Structure 1
Amino acid sequence: MAVMLYVQGVPIGYMAIALAILASMGGFIFGYDTGQISDILIMDDFKLRFATCSTPGDANTCNFTIVREGLIVALLSIGTLFGSLIGAPTADYLGRRYAMSVECLVFAVGVVIQITTTHTWQQFAVGRLISGLGVGSLSAAVPMYQAETAPSQIRGTLTATYQLFITFGILVAYCISIGARDISGSGSWRTVVGISFVWPAILGIGILFMPESPRWLTSKGRYDEARNSLASSRGVPRAEAVDHFIITRELEEMREAVEYEKNVQTGWLDCFTVERKQLYRTLLISTLQMFQQLTGANYFFYYGATIFQSVGISDSYVTQIILGAVNFGCTFLGLYVMEKFGRRYPLIIGGVWQSCWLFVFAAAGTAKDPTTNESIGKLMIVSACLFILGYASTWAPGIWILVGETFPTRTRAKQAAISTASNWLWNFLLAFFTPFIVKAIKFRYGFVFAACNLTGAVIVYFFLYESSDLSLESVDMMYSDPYCKPWTSRSWAPPGFSSRADLVEQSRAAEAHKPLATEERIEKTGEGPQKV
């Protein structure tokens, strides 16, 4: 146990980084499961076993019915929908670590069901449904665990690793698929699915060696264990933790919060009251989660291999890897963009950017037949990559960040569950109905997504408040201020501060235990901002 670095004068331990990265394997599991199905659907042995073939033994004559293909792809999302709703109470009952271990086991059971089927596509689909229960539960438990264990000074970066690992999992699935496609017989798709055992094993076993959430331990009255968990994250020896200023302060804040929450009874209906714009915020983030799916990103991730086969690309596996690499690499850019430029501007600009390239994609595929025009096919690939660049840099990480910082503390878990369920619901609807829509309108489907991206940008402009650089308590205050409008919220600051910049400066000084600018001003002039 040792201090890795100091941020704003506060120690950060190696354990804080290790637990965030390990917990992010939950995102990797989801990304891998999302990425694998696109390539599996075009593997010869998989089509021979589960598709309808006009000539037995000839994979080129095998095709999935629209319903069958949609269910194989989309049942994962139904599982994640229900899993996300039960993930939080499971983590509250078992503790964050044990909950993740159990959820990894559920995912592994689904993998077993998938790889043991021989000619029954329904069994494979049900296996994906059960794996989805594990994935959805992890999507609730992992960010919660990361937020509760990470030091506040780097909490945003560490919790964002969940989205980063999702994109990494998608890329790894594409790479493994291209290596396994030439394996004879069922070894091709069974290898891709079977390797899925590795990821939950790493998370499910490894997490047991990590410290438990100090927030959860405090809620159970296990204060000594909570203090030790905080010491691990800070890199402070346990013998020194009892008298350590920062650890003592954080533990006391947790105890006060737990006592307050015990005295305040909250239910699901509190998420839909007009008081303090609770209904407004619930509907806003649920709508943005819906539009994150309606950007069209999963159109490429779920059906990318099929899409690029249809545009005449000889090796669609390679194209998938290119898309996956762009998605993964640009997520790093997204972490910087959302930190540097706030929330509203990136989402608005990202929505417009994505709309433009989807329009190009759809117009090119509609104007000429990409299977006979190589230039059109290349243009469609380039436009898809540039769309993914915008998505990974803005809407992919941005919406998940908003889930964590928009809601008030006492109802955050419930409102986050509702908004996340919206994401999984639309994930399922798109995955299931996309084959039907593509059959009817082909590449004109891109025009639909282009319009949705523009609509999302408009919603952000008129309804989303700028929450960057504000504490969670200040965000709650901003949404409750009747004089603050979304388009003016970037300049809003809590009472007692002259501007958002003044707020940031004083907050950083306070965290570093330096004299506040206002204190210096009072000492020199005898005046300071009037506190309200």
Structure 2
Amino acid sequence: MAKFFHIQGVPIGFIAIGLALLASMGGFIFGYDTGQISDILLMDDFLLRFGTCSSATNASTCSFSVVRQGLIVALLSIGTLIGALIGAPTADFLGRRYAMSSECVVFIIGVIIQIASSHSWVQFALGRLVSGLGVGALSAAVPMYQAETAPPQIRGTLTATYQLFITFGILVAYLVSIGTRSLPGSASWRTVVGVGIIWPLILGIGILLMPESPRWLARHGKIDAAQISVARVRGVKASEAKDHWVIQREVEEIRSMEEYERKVNAGWVACFRFGDGRKIGYRTLLGMSLQSLQQLTGANYFFYYGATIFKSIGIADSFVTQIILGAVNFGCTFGGLYIMERFGRRMPLILGGVWQSAWLIVFASAGTAQDPTTNKPIGYLMIVSACLFIFGYAMTWAPGIWILIGETFPTRTRAKQGALATASNWLWNFLIAFFTPFIDKAIGFRYGYVFAACNLLGAVVVYFFLYESSDISLESVDQMYTDPACKPWTSSTWAPVGFSSRSDLIEQTRAGESHKPSIGGVEEARVEKVGDGENTSGGASAV
């Protein structure tokens, strides 16, 4: 297998890039389904079929009640909430790849139900509920699979591609919608929904060609298969894996941690265990809090209701404005991939929270001070502030939280903790989607102040509770959280036993690749056995 390149002295294979991009189609599905509904709600045929109309032929006489509009938008989130919780045992039982394939089938069934809707808005909403089951399960499985399989040197970038594909899916949904809105009859909205079948077909079939998570394989006693999986990701031939020090050190680290975690109860209750020094419950609540706060940034206020918002401030073609927001969101996420890899996790999230809060205050203040429907400069200021908010969100909180969900939890409980965290995201997704029409009707653009406060809260939570997990292996992340001497605000300098700092870790790893010592030599001394349970605050060196 061809090596693609080297980072920090260790090989990275083509498969590592391929599995990240392919698995990220789960994010594309999520984004496409999120982005399509905002424009569909304004399409003439959709209004005539599912709205309340005083004329059977004039869409301008049609409207949705706040309850009906909220349910059409938000039932997807109820499905994703349930799907995220179901996704954990599914991924543990079937394996990460087969779980994703089965979840793609569920999503396709939901799309078919929506397309088949004729005049019942309830059927369309229930179709979104079913699709949500698949989206939610994928949102739990994909980041976990990417984090467990990707080399630690590029884990942040590869895991962040999930968020990149979410933004790409949103943008594609906007573009498809503007292209189909002039089609006659139901083709305007059925085409948008139906195109959604393509993406799960790509993911469901393609993911079966990728290697299974080596950590899932090790957990099920398949150490040889785990070794082959690691080798494929590293671009090393299977026949050479047993003699390659990088492969052997990674596999030994995974095996040692699995032996230790085998002694630990991995049920749902274990996710809220406190007082044993491993911070399992701490990390569960942290993950749930961060996912909730990602929703409370206010991003989906614009993605779900952006077309309606910009129509209300007097923009002639709100579809175009929505595309501008989607393009900013997608383009800036590329910057997010670099930022989260170059500057770690903590600082970008702290600065992002402050930046996002500032522009939401501008948005809310402008809309409250003047009527944007009669004052065009105010309307344009609101669009600019919304774009600058999305600029910050796309480069920090959007990719950062999905990266953290993949790398914060220990292997034994990762699926369940990831599911609980993701379910929290979808719970707030539902609450925002359903209640936004009511809140917007009551307080108007002052809603932005609420989201601004939540962004500042997010920055505070990150500073006081989140540990810096960049540049080290998943096993070392676990050891960092259990080290009583390490605090969140000092965690950026923490390194595994045998290294004085993370810089030292990178330098010694690069030097080790140059000399290529065997696993039985000097490097073996750094592979600390955690299976005996005697020391869980130090641990294996991070490749």
Could you say whether these structures have the same fold, taking a TM-score greater than 0.5 normalized by the shorter chain as the test?
Answer: yes
Shift of 1:124: 0.4
3-state SS of 1:312 partner:
coil
Letter in 1 for 2:343: F
Query: Which stretch of structure 1 is more off in the superposition, 239-248 or 28-37?
Result: 239-248
Mapping 1:14-413, distance limit 5 Å: 14-272=14-272, 273-276=274-277, 277-413=279-415
3-state SS of 1:467 partner:
coil
CA 492–256 in structure 1, closer or farther in 2 if over 3 Å, else same = closer
1:35 & 1:23 partners in 2: Cα distance?
A: 20
Shift of 1:339: 2.0
Deviations 1:260-307 (A, max 9, x none): 433333333332213323333322221121111111000000011111
Quick check: 1:274–1:280 contact (8 Å CA) kept in 2?
A: no
Mapping 1:421-440, distance limit 5 Å: 421-440=423-442
Shift of 1:149: 2.9
Quick check: 2:162–2:402 contact (8 Å CA) kept in 1?
A: no
Letter in 1 for 2:229: S
Shift of 1:107: 0.2
TM-score normalised by length of structure 2 = 0.89
1:476 & 1:484 partners in 2: Cα distance?
A: 12
CA 410–131 in structure 1, closer or farther in 2 if over 3 Å, else same = same
CA 264–245 in structure 1, closer or farther in 2 if over 3 Å, else same = same
3-state SS of 2:100 partner:
helix
Deviations 1:175-232 (A, max 9, x none): 1111001001000000000000110111112222333333334444445544443343
Shift of 1:404: 2.7
CA 226–279 in structure 1, closer or farther in 2 if over 3 Å, else same = closer
CA 352–247 in structure 1, closer or farther in 2 if over 3 Å, else same = closer
3-state SS of 2:196 partner:
helix
Shift of 1:75: 0.8
Deviations 1:408-440 (A, max 9, x none): 343333222222111111111111100110011
Letter in 2 for 1:42: L
Letter in 1 for 2:275: V
- Equivalent position to 2:453, from 451, 454, 457: 451
3-state SS of 2:316 partner:
coil
1:513 & 1:434 partners in 2: Cα distance?
A: 60
Mapping 1:436-515, distance limit 5 Å: 436-493=438-495, 497-510=499-512
Quick check: 2:32–2:173 contact (8 Å CA) kept in 1?
A: yes
Shift of 1:139: 1.3
Query: Which stretch of structure 1 is more off in the superposition, 259-268 or 87-96?
Result: 259-268
Letter in 2 for 1:286: M
CA 164–366 in structure 1, closer or farther in 2 if over 3 Å, else same = same
Query: Which stretch of structure 1 is more off in the superposition, 231-240 or 304-313?
Result: 231-240
**Structure 2 unmatched runs, 5+:** 523-537
**Structure 1 unmatched runs, 5+:** 520-530
Shift of 1:100: 1.4
**Superposition RMSD on alpha carbons, in Å?**
2.4
Letter in 2 for 1:211: P
Amino-acid identity (%): 74
Which residue of the partner structure matches residue 528 of structure 1?
A: none
1:350 & 1:51 partners in 2: Cα distance?
A: 39
Which residue of the partner structure matches residue 526 of structure 2?
A: none
3-state SS of 1:275 partner:
coil
Quick check: 1:35–1:174 contact (8 Å CA) kept in 2?
A: yes
Letter in 1 for 2:187: G
Which residue of the partner structure matches residue 532 of structure 2?
A: none
CA 13–280 in structure 1, closer or farther in 2 if over 3 Å, else same = closer
2:281 & 2:292 partners in 1: Cα distance?
A: 16
3-state SS of 1:20 partner:
helix
Which residue of the partner structure matches residue 529 of structure 2?
A: none
Quick check: 1:355–1:451 contact (8 Å CA) kept in 2?
A: yes
Quick check: 1:20–1:146 contact (8 Å CA) kept in 2?
A: yes
Letter in 2 for 1:275: D
Number of residue pairs matched by the alignment: 518
The one of the two structures with greater contact order (alpha-carbon pairs below 8 A, sep at least 6) is 2
Shift of 1:474: 4.5
Which residue of the partner structure matches residue 530 of structure 2?
A: none
Shift of 1:143: 2.0
2:342 & 2:2 partners in 1: Cα distance?
A: 30
Query: Which stretch of structure 1 is more off in the superposition, 499-508 or 78-87?
Result: 499-508
Quick check: 1:8–1:512 contact (8 Å CA) kept in 2?
A: no
1:244 & 1:499 partners in 2: Cα distance?
A: 25
1:514 & 1:244 partners in 2: Cα distance?
A: 8
2:10 & 2:492 partners in 1: Cα distance?
A: 28
Letter in 2 for 1:463: F
Quick check: 2:28–2:168 contact (8 Å CA) kept in 1?
A: yes
2:232 & 2:36 partners in 1: Cα distance?
A: 36
Letter in 1 for 2:82: F
CA 190–104 in structure 1, closer or farther in 2 if over 3 Å, else same = same
Deviations 1:300-330 (A, max 9, x none): 0001111110011111111111111111111
TM-score normalised by length of structure 1 = 0.91
Quick check: 2:152–2:471 contact (8 Å CA) kept in 1?
A: no
CA 16–487 in structure 1, closer or farther in 2 if over 3 Å, else same = closer
1:9 & 1:254 partners in 2: Cα distance?
A: 20
Query: Which stretch of structure 1 is more off in the superposition, 189-198 or 446-455?
Result: 446-455
1:251 & 1:493 partners in 2: Cα distance?
A: 19
Structure 1 runs, 4 residues or longer, greater than 6 Å off: none
CA 457–255 in structure 1, closer or farther in 2 if over 3 Å, else same = closer
Letter in 1 for 2:369: A
CA 132–513 in structure 1, closer or farther in 2 if over 3 Å, else same = farther
Query: Which stretch of structure 1 is more off in the superposition, 117-126 or 445-454?
Result: 445-454
Letter in 1 for 2:119: H
Query: Which stretch of structure 1 is more off in the superposition, 474-483 or 283-292?
Result: 474-483
Quick check: 1:330–1:392 contact (8 Å CA) kept in 2?
A: yes
CA 228–471 in structure 1, closer or farther in 2 if over 3 Å, else same = closer
Deviations 1:147-197 (A, max 9, x none): 333233322222221111111111111111110010010000000000001
2:496 & 2:11 partners in 1: Cα distance?
A: 28
CA 235–470 in structure 1, closer or farther in 2 if over 3 Å, else same = closer
Quick check: 1:466–1:489 contact (8 Å CA) kept in 2?
A: yes
CA 266–347 in structure 1, closer or farther in 2 if over 3 Å, else same = same
CA 141–495 in structure 1, closer or farther in 2 if over 3 Å, else same = closer
Letter in 2 for 1:235: G
1:212 & 1:347 partners in 2: Cα distance?
A: 31
Quick check: 1:10–1:512 contact (8 Å CA) kept in 2?
A: no
CA 224–421 in structure 1, closer or farther in 2 if over 3 Å, else same = same
Query: Which stretch of structure 1 is more off in the superposition, 410-419 or 302-311?
Result: 410-419
